[in-house]
Amino acid sequence: MSELDLMLDGGQAEQQDEWAGAASSQDDDAALYLELDGWEGPLDLLLDLARRQKVDLRSISILALVDQYLTYINRAEALRLELAADYLVMAAWLAYLKSSLLLPREEQEDPSPEELALRLQLRLQRLGAMREAAARLMARDRIGRDVFLRGAPEGLRIDRKTQWQCDWYSLVQGYGQVKARTAPAVHMVRNRPVMTLESALDRVSAMLGVTLDWMRLEEFLPPYAEPRLRRSALASSFVAALELARKGRAELAQDAIFGPLRLRRIPA
């Protein structure tokens, strides 16, 4: 763990100006190695180098910063320290930025190197702001470190007691349903007015004997029957007609589907 970590955890925001990492104070290679372990990526390293310029982040010299970064990376490479790829990518980009910044204006591309430099500066400002905010946050009075909660609270217990609800109707209905569910089932068939097949056979045979002409099935029904008896008579008479046809005593004709069904005697 580097010094930076320690400062961040316990440090005060006011210490930001003394952010100077180990590198500025110590020149030895071991320190460099330690630092490399401590950076959270190339932007973090850039921010730290920028802080060493000891000016407001809005006034830093980008060119100087680029030089510092490239020097740093070169030193690390000379020491054969293993650098993550994004440090090298940043180095390449910064080298390009530097050369663009030094070129005569006419030859500049779009976006201009000034724009790129400004964007880099804005990013550094934002990261710097968050790093400072983090330090100030960590320096607050924290529960368990600076302020403490009650060591042995009694605790609040809530005992739930159920108040049961049921009404008269549900009670009585419940009983009714039990009785209905378990009562032995009795099925009764209603006494309906019907014409039996036998009486229909008798009636149709008798009426067929009267004439040799075609007669509609309805004409065989009892004329003043109430509707329910009439339906029963129609069904029975139809079956009777089929029975007579089967025995060769009558013939049936229907000219269209659902058309009137006609019936005529076959002379013996």
Binding to other proteins (CB under 8 A) within 109-148 occurs at 110, 112, 114-115, 118-119, 122-123, 125-127, 129-134, 136-138, 140-148
> Within 75-104, which residues bind other proteins (CB under 8 A)?
86
Tokens of 146: 């600076």
Q: Count of residues binding other proteins (CB under 8 A)?
A: 82
Tokens of 136: 């100030």
**DSSP single-letter state for residue 215:** E
CB of 9 to other proteins, least distance (A): 7
Rounded Cα distance between 118 and 99, Å, is 16
Angstrom CA distances, 170 to 49, 64, 149, stand at 81, 88, 52
**DSSP single-letter state for residue 185:** P
Cβ nearer to other proteins, comparing 23 with 200:
23
The contact pattern for other proteins, residues 149-188, with x = CB under 8 A and - = no contact, is xxxxxxxxxxxxxxxxxxxx-xxxxxxxxxxxxxx---xx
> Within 22-41, which residues bind other proteins (CB under 8 A)?
38, 40-41
Q: Is 245 in the site for other proteins (CB under 8 A)?
A: no
Q: Is 54 in the site for other proteins (CB under 8 A)?
A: no
CB of 54 to other proteins, least distance (A): 17
Tokens of 67: 């030089």
CB of 141 to other proteins, least distance (A): 4
The contact pattern for other proteins, residues 207-226, with x = CB under 8 A and - = no contact, is --------------------
CB of 23 to other proteins, least distance (A): 17
Half-sphere exposure of 193 (CA within 13 A, CB side): 10
Residue type, 235: A
Contact 117, 46 (CB under 8 A): no
Rounded Cα distance between 252 and 232, Å, is 20
Relative to beta strand 215-216, strand 261-265 is antiparallel
Cβ nearer to other proteins, comparing 134 with 212:
134
